[in-house]
Structure 1
Amino acid sequence: MHRRTCLQLGLAGLAGGSFVDLLALRRAAAAEAPGNDQPKSNCILIWMDGGPSHLETFDLKPEAPMEIRGEFRPINTNVPGMQICEHLPQLAKIADKYSLIRSVRHNQANHGSGNHYMMTGAPPRIPVGCGAFVSFHPSLGSVAAYERQAPHGLPSYFSMPNMSRSGGPNFLGAKYAPFVVANDPNHKDFHVRDVELPRDLPPDRFQSRRDLRQLVDRLPRYGDPQANDPVTGYDENVQQGYNLIMAPEAQKAFDIHSEPEAVRDAYGRNGFGQRALMARRLVEAGVPFVTLYDGGWDHHRDIFNVLSKRLPTWDQTVAALISDLDQRGLLETTMVIALGEFGRTPKISTLSGESTPGRDHWANAMSILFAGGGSRGGQVIGATDRQGHAAVERVLSPENYVSTVYRKLGIDPNKIYHTPSGRPAHLVSDHTPISELM
């Protein structure tokens, strides 16, 4: 039991509690704790860097004044009463497969701090600027890599095509940084750099070189091996590279060219679409955490023109990913989450010298798409006010969202880690998950 449950039990006893109260509290504690018998889910995190507008995607306000509601209109989904943007018709057809969280809010309305908060569940310790790339705490993906191991020599944490600002391991060490696949899988000559043998190097010669290196590695080392030695981190990276090159299962996971053309077309023949397909192949191979970095959602200007062109292709890819996982029986044990660092201002703005409208940073309200991982679809969790100004119903924090992800990964968000210097670090300060998704 947690300390809080014990205190509740003691107070209940003083107030005339009974054995029935004890059983009720034990049931509550068991429901709160991650169960060892529950299947652990993997996660595909679609990081919409820049902060997507909730008012143009999943939380439209058609009854609000024009300067707030904007140009887009809502459409019905296959779930009665649930509406999303008109430029997301494919997602509208499968709304029963995902939930929308409309009531997460926080107080970090710039890119550096907002990114850190939503990627780690920990607000930055000091004020940071919009352009800052900060790391005060391990990211979701790095913790997943630390707690869970992928099979067949594969890394446990991937990020494509690059790592987000706060997507690193912090004190966990370089071993738990993401394996970045920068190349475009939509290219006809796509391959994962540095994980296949050069054509002029036969396998037997490669093995000879590896044996030679192992002889060198037997030489005495100096210094404390527990002191986060960068040389040790380098050795771990080299070993990971060997595993990737020599494991047929790992090579197979990267072979996107083996996918049927119809499947590749369904995801969209573009970089984002094919990376989503690659993410599906990776979780299918047992990788616990994959981040799809999707930049360019910071629409201070020209928001309606840009999104009217971008949302349909984004819609195609995300709907195809969820549907494909579902058809393969993988959605039950795979989370698909789409979010950015915050939402956008309810009132449309025009920056100085600009003639096209946009929306600015806004942390009082945001929307998150959450599918799979054993969660029930077709839900709308929480609500903002009539003008999308702030979350007012079932208000949730980044900690609640991150704790939900950890529990579905099979990780206790109430854990306390220790840095190399011995400093304790609570994984998440508030480990309460979003109950509707559990």
Structure 2
Amino acid sequence: MAITRNCESTTRRDCLRLGLGALMGGGLIDALRARGRAAIPGARPTSCILIWMDGGPSHYETFDPKPDAPAEIRGKFKAIETSVPGMRFSEPMKRLASIADKLAIVRSIRHDQGNHGAGNHYMVTGAPPRIPVGCGAFVSFHPSMGSVAAHERGAGGGLPSYFSIPSMLRSGGPNFLGARYAPFVVPDDPNSASFRVRDVAPPRDLGGTRVDGRRSLRDRLDHLKRFAEKAAGDPALALDEYYDQGYELMASHQAQRAFDITVEDPRLRDRYGRNSFGQRCLLARRLVEAGVPFVTLNEGGWDHHVSLFDGFDNRMPAFESSITALIQDLDQRGMLDSTLVLALGEFGRTPKINKDAGRDHWSNAMSVLVAGCGTPGGQVVGATDSRGYAASERVLSPENFVATVYAKLGIDPGKILFTPSGRPTYLVSDPTPIRELMG
């Protein structure tokens, strides 16, 4: 799997590997801890697909063009009309412009965290970091939206409640909620003909007989006196359930079906795009269709300090085409009303184009795409000033954004959770959703 680096030139493991899967030939135990509880009584059966554009996509070159600004600000691309009169996007967003009636664009979220690590944390948790955080930091001072969704909603049916594909966000973890609410990471490429999800099927070198044999070995070990006594506090006992669930997941027809994108109409796969991101979008749709409440697509490569316009020319046509196909497919299947689709990064980019034909970090303004889950389409929420320097109308915070996501998932954003030590913690310090997005 290719790894995309941001300006800090740092990479990290996607998630903690507990190393407890040797008896079944894989590392599933941590992933099974991501299986949520039963859905809250009365909660809406809604899901979220978060398309995370890691690095911070430019608001100028996406949804907030400034055609009347000087050339060193407005950049290379023109502003284009969309399917909604008066609503304009930047030229690279041609396909999304054609379905603007289904989209809401928020142009006025701002914050004060201009580094990747801090900005990522703020936007995916709704909580600013407690200490200064550098660009390369992987920090967790508060549970991420995906982990909260897993904790509060669960998936049921034997599937994990929170997926992150192909890697985990740097602040996408569960913090005090515990490892069981960490994301299940699917690192393999669904565009590959050999795509298979680790731990959902037995490893290639383990046939069914060998898998059954390893389970039989565990069953015999369980009859040892130490296990039979079920001594209080024995940490090994706590793992038994997860091993059992691991075998169940490998044998689950629902899990096998959810990951088998080969059953999709080849023409639909073509619409999504025969590339890694396009097929990940299709996989995300299949997962929410199977009842998973939160799926993150972690798509790096948007830290355009250099050659921004070449980068957009090369990548954006296929990228925004896949997002368009996802939204249209959800709509045609009657799923868009119950699936929230988001596309954003940690911040926007600087107004003035730098000497390397790029833009740098800028947290005073950013654009967020929102679709589905009852969101009124064909609207722009808020605005930046005439040159895109800062949010100037209907100024909103990451807290408002995260509160909106929770509200749409049927989770009370004002809920208080308790840490293992008993300390009360608000999900969001300001639980006010963005009213224009609530319908």
Q: Please identify, of 237-246 and 392-401, the stretch whose mean Cα deviation from structure 2 is larger.
A: 237-246
Find the aligned partners of 1:236 and 1:59 in 2 and give their Cα distance.
50
Q: Deviations over 1:396-424 (max 9, x none)?
A: 00000000000111111111111112222
Find the aligned partners of 2:328 and 2:408 in 1 and give their Cα distance.
20
What does residue 403 of structure 1 align with? 403
Please tell me the residue identity of whatever aligns with 1:52: P
Q: In structure 2, which of residues 49, 57, 61 is the aligned counterpart of residue 56 of structure 1? A: 61
Q: In structure 2, which of residues 295, 298, 306 is the aligned counterpart of residue 301 of structure 1? A: 306
How many residue pairs end up in the alignment? Answer: 395
Find the aligned partners of 2:242 and 2:310 in 1 and give their Cα distance.
44
Cα 1:198/1:64, change in 2 over 3 Å: closer
TM-aligned CA deviation for residue 240 of structure 1? 4.0
Instruction: Give yes or no for contact 2:43–2:411 (8 Å, CA) kept in 1.
Output: no
Cα 1:236/1:141, change in 2 over 3 Å: farther
For the pair 1:321 / 2:326, whether they are aligned, the reply is yes
What does residue 133 of structure 2 align with? 128
TM-aligned CA deviation for residue 242 of structure 1? 2.2
Find the aligned partners of 1:222 and 1:62 in 2 and give their Cα distance.
71
Q: In structure 2, which of residues 76, 88, 91 is the aligned counterpart of residue 83 of structure 1? A: 88
What does residue 421 of structure 1 align with? 421
Cα 1:113/1:239, change in 2 over 3 Å: farther
3-state SS, counterpart of residue 107 of structure 1 = coil
Q: Please identify, of 38-47 and 60-69, the stretch whose mean Cα deviation from structure 2 is larger.
A: 38-47
3-state SS, counterpart of residue 414 of structure 2 = coil
Find the aligned partners of 1:373 and 1:425 in 2 and give their Cα distance.
27
After TM superposition, the structure 1 = structure 2 runs for residues 259-408 of structure 1, keeping only pairs within 5 Å, are 259-350=264-355, 356-408=356-408
Q: Deviations over 1:86-113 (max 9, x none)?
A: 1111111111111000000000000010
TM-aligned CA deviation for residue 312 of structure 1? 0.7
Cα 1:127/1:254, change in 2 over 3 Å: same
For the pair 1:238 / 2:238, whether they are aligned, the reply is no
TM-aligned CA deviation for residue 174 of structure 1? 1.0
TM-aligned CA deviation for residue 236 of structure 1? 5.5
TM-aligned CA deviation for residue 205 of structure 1? 6.0
TM-aligned CA deviation for residue 237 of structure 1? 4.5
3-state SS, counterpart of residue 56 of structure 1 = coil
Instruction: Give yes or no for contact 1:142–1:169 (8 Å, CA) kept in 2.
Output: yes
Structure 2: segments with no counterpart, 5+ residues:
1-39
Find the aligned partners of 2:82 and 2:119 in 1 and give their Cα distance.
30
After TM superposition, the structure 1 = structure 2 runs for residues 66-145 of structure 1, keeping only pairs within 5 Å, are 66-145=71-150
Find the aligned partners of 1:291 and 1:116 in 2 and give their Cα distance.
14
Cα 1:278/1:387, change in 2 over 3 Å: same
Find the aligned partners of 1:433 and 1:418 in 2 and give their Cα distance.
22
Cα 1:298/1:222, change in 2 over 3 Å: farther
What does residue 12 of structure 1 align with? none
Cα 1:150/1:332, change in 2 over 3 Å: same
TM superposition score normalised by structure 1: 0.86
Instruction: Give yes or no for contact 2:305–2:360 (8 Å, CA) kept in 1.
Output: yes
Q: Deviations over 1:367-414 (max 9, x none)?
A: 000000111111100000000000010010000000000011111111
What does residue 164 of structure 1 align with? 169
TM superposition score normalised by structure 2: 0.86
Find the aligned partners of 2:428 and 2:237 in 1 and give their Cα distance.
28
Find the aligned partners of 1:193 and 1:251 in 2 and give their Cα distance.
12
Find the aligned partners of 2:411 and 2:241 in 1 and give their Cα distance.
24
Find the aligned partners of 1:183 and 1:224 in 2 and give their Cα distance.
37
Find the aligned partners of 2:405 and 2:268 in 1 and give their Cα distance.
28
3-state SS, counterpart of residue 414 of structure 1 = coil
After TM superposition, the structure 1 = structure 2 runs for residues 185-200 of structure 1, keeping only pairs within 5 Å, are 185-198=190-203
Q: Which has the larger radius of gyration?
A: 1
Structure 1: segments with no counterpart, 5+ residues:
1-34, 351-355
Q: Deviations over 1:9-28 (max 9, x none)?
A: xxxxxxxxxxxxxxxxxxxx
After TM superposition, the structure 1 = structure 2 runs for residues 17-28 of structure 1, keeping only pairs within 5 Å, are none
TM-aligned CA deviation for residue 41 of structure 1? 1.4
Q: In structure 2, which of residues 174, 181, 184 is the aligned counterpart of residue 179 of structure 1? A: 184
Find the aligned partners of 1:379 and 1:316 in 2 and give their Cα distance.
20
